Structure 1
């Protein structure tokens, strides 16, 4: 009796766009939405909270790169000097976040940015991106010894929400690279298994 040959996992093509700002003057801030919206830096590195934000924001748009990280790996990533997490709260409830990743020679990547689905389409994203980009530009002010920021960049992809690219372009980011990658079709559980099944 022969063993069945396992089927190869299905893959899909994903377009990845990289965008940048090369001067603080490039930033075009969005209007501040009405209501009780605050953006606060999460100053205590807390893997549990960061993983919640990551899964809650990325669960329906195929964020998978961090799902296999251990608690220690999350902590190591969050405790690197200059890494910052800025969280938007509406009426005290987390609505989304921006994670800044300082790199060499005054470069800061907006490593993660997004909103929890319940808060999308309400003007929160433009303000949060504006605020996060501004904090990328003044990051060295909070980290003595760091080189002043001279470039802020990020990437987005065809799996992201339909308004993501427009938001980046409206905030003054310019496209500098486009590539196509293949990615396995994997289930993303969100904050808990089945969270986005309905």
Structure 2
């Protein structure tokens, strides 16, 4: 056996917070930002577009869990009844998105939410979260086979942007669980190599 010490991969401590609303009246909408900001549902399941949004929004905050999914896996997920993608456009350009998933027991999870870095800090995030949360509450109107929404929930973590938690709390979400785990440090993938580096 070699006496040479083995290099260990760097790790980091990550805290994950879970938040919820249990009534549509919990939602406290943000002000609508100025300018040409529109939020539109992407109704055609399109893995290429979904993966673009995922990489463009999450690339600098180390969203990596879906990067290994195949085209067929993306499509299968997007085609599930009660799964919706709502996209914010600024002057016709995709600026961010909210992805909803209807779950058992009348729950709807906000699976992914965020803005492309170029559009952060422009008061778009509060409006997009407000709109997406409202669509979670009325999701059964578009999916009659799903039960009426009784709960909307999400999770955020210490890798997310510095204003994420404040945005959720301002919109009326309440903390119900906190967990801390040690994870490997992953490279920032970005939508392409070097997108967020020097």
TM-score class, shorter-chain normalisation, is over 0.9
Answering whether residue 133 of structure 2 is matched by residue 138 of structure 1, we say no
In structure 2, the residue corresponding to 1:77 is in which secondary structure?
Answer: helix
Separation (CA, whole Å) in 1 of partners of 2:183 and 2:83: 27
In structure 1, the residue corresponding to 2:35 is in which secondary structure?
Answer: coil
User: Structure 2: where are the runs of 5+ without partners?
Assistant: none
Q: Indicate conservation of the 8 Å contact 2:62/2:189, yes or no.
A: no
Map of 1:1-198 to 2, 5 A cutoff?
A: 7-198=7-198
Distance 1:3 1:84, change over 3 A: farther
In structure 2, the residue corresponding to 1:59 is in which secondary structure?
Answer: helix
User: Structure 1: where are the runs of 5+ without partners?
Assistant: none
- Bigger Cα displacement from structure 2, 8-17 vs 27-36: 8-17
TM norm structure 2: 0.97
Separation (CA, whole Å) in 2 of partners of 1:93 and 1:67: 23
Separation (CA, whole Å) in 2 of partners of 1:80 and 1:36: 31
The offset of 1:175, in angstroms, is: 0.3
The offset of 1:77, in angstroms, is: 1.1
Aligned residues between the structures: 198
The offset of 1:76, in angstroms, is: 1.0
Q: Which stretches of structure 1, 4 residues or longer, exceed 2 Å deviation after superposition?
A: 1-8
The offset of 1:188, in angstroms, is: 2.5
Distance 1:185 1:145, change over 3 A: same
Q: Indicate conservation of the 8 Å contact 2:21/2:173, yes or no.
A: yes
Separation (CA, whole Å) in 1 of partners of 2:110 and 2:171: 13
The offset of 1:2, in angstroms, is: 5.8
Alignment RMSD: 1.4
TM norm structure 1: 0.97
